[in-house]
Amino acid sequence: MDNGASSYRRFLEGDDQGLYEIICTYQDGLILYLNSYVQNIVLAEDLAEDTFAELAIKKPRFSGRCTFKTWLYSIARHIAVDHFRRESRIKTVPLENSGSIAAEDELERVYLRNEQRIALHRAIRELNPEYQQVLYLVFFEDFSNDEAAEIMKKSRRQIENLLYNSKKALKNTLERGDFDYEEL
């Protein structure tokens, strides 16, 4: 059993520290995943809160058929889909670059790297929402194709096709913007 599953089991047995451990472990990644889905960081934070609230209040059963992280992200995606059913439009918020540089000699290199990351994220946001999701799950969250398939409610073959097509579309989008591949 992975750490999340054991923490959840402890929470179900009455140890509130288990839920706290789950939140600390998965909150940031879950917010970033939801942001790739809803295109609004504030909304993503709210949906992540709703996900953890569902764990705390409804206490859904974890069967162990997949990893705890996959199960948790599936719940989050379901909550986001429910939100879209209630709301008819999505607003986008530009991705902000944060971070500070201590060494002056690295300032230019780090600046260029950050600009490339921003360009990459902007290019990803131009893609079809399913392409965005599959790229985020597989490359940013390191889910396997099977886990991504379970989260997105697709077959493994559909995920492979989505990955192929999304990488191709991303490459075309980046090339239109004269993206420099050297540092990536």
pLDDT at 88 > cutoff 80: no
Query: What pLDDT, on a 0 to 100 scale, did the predictor assign at position 112?
Result: 66
Nearest Cα neighbor of 113 from 47, 64, 52, 183 is 183
Percent of the chain with pLDDT over 70: 82
In sign, the C-alpha dihedral spanning 76, 82, 85, 91 is: negative
Model pTM score: 0.57
Query: What pLDDT, on a 0 to 100 scale, did the predictor assign at position 99?
Result: 43
Query: What pLDDT, on a 0 to 100 scale, did the predictor assign at position 87?
Result: 75
Residue-range domains of the chain with CATH: 3-86 (1.10.1740.10), 104-176 (1.10.10.10)
Mean predicted confidence (pLDDT) in 134-163: 90
More confident residue, 103 or 109: 109
Query: What pLDDT, on a 0 to 100 scale, did the predictor assign at position 104?
Result: 44
**Length of the chain counted residue by residue:** 184
pLDDT at 80 > cutoff 80: yes
Q: What is the pLDDT of residues 24-58, one digit of tens each?
A: 999 999 998 998 888 888 999 999 999 999 999 99
Q: Is 95 exposed, middle or buried (0-12, 13-18, 19+ CB in 10 A)?
A: middle
H or E stretch including 16?
A: helix 16-38
Q: Give the rounded distance of the alpha carbon of 120 from its chain centre.
A: 15
Provide the mean pLDDT of the chain. 82
What is the rounded distance in angstroms from the CA atom of residue 43 to the CA atom of residue 91?
Answer: 9
